[in-house]
Amino acid sequence: MCAESLAAGERLAELRSMGPAGCPASELGQLDVAGLSDAQRIELLALVAEQRNWLDSIEARVLAEIDGADDTQLGLAQEEVSLALKVAPRTAQNRLKAARTLVRDLPNTLALLGRGDQPAACPGAGGIVVAVG
């Protein structure tokens, strides 16, 4: 069903019910934001954040696998990740480390991200978010 076939608010409600894994991000970009109420715009913003969190969980799992498979003494995976993500090698190294931590040490946090939820930031955790409880 095309985004234009329903009113923007009705389509937003449908997309929201799909959860982050089922919601096509391209349709979020096609919604007529001007046609949404203020509350619906906030709902759309929350939906975009859920999509980002879900994608972050996928990225973390992929990066952890890349990191775990890197058997070079020089840690060349960070160079490959740097090129793939178009970030500085140091940034790639930090992302690999954070992904490894999420997958190995913080599976509950990774699960929250996978559902689109936003875990609470933990001060002193080096920017890593953690799930409590």
| Chunked mean pLDDT (size 10), the chain, 133 residues | 59 82 84 90 92 92 95 90 96 95 93 82 47 44
Report the alpha-carbon distance of residue 19 to residue 87 in Å, rounded: 30
Quote the pLDDT of residue 120: 62
Predicted structure pTM score: 0.76
Quote the pLDDT of residue 129: 52
Report the alpha-carbon distance of residue 68 to residue 99 in Å, rounded: 10
Number of domains in the chain: 1
**Which residues span the domain enclosing 86?**
3-130
The continuous run of DSSP H or E covering 74 comes out as: none
Quote the pLDDT of residue 121: 57
Q: Identify the bridge partners of residue 120 per DSSP, sorted by sequence position.
A: 130
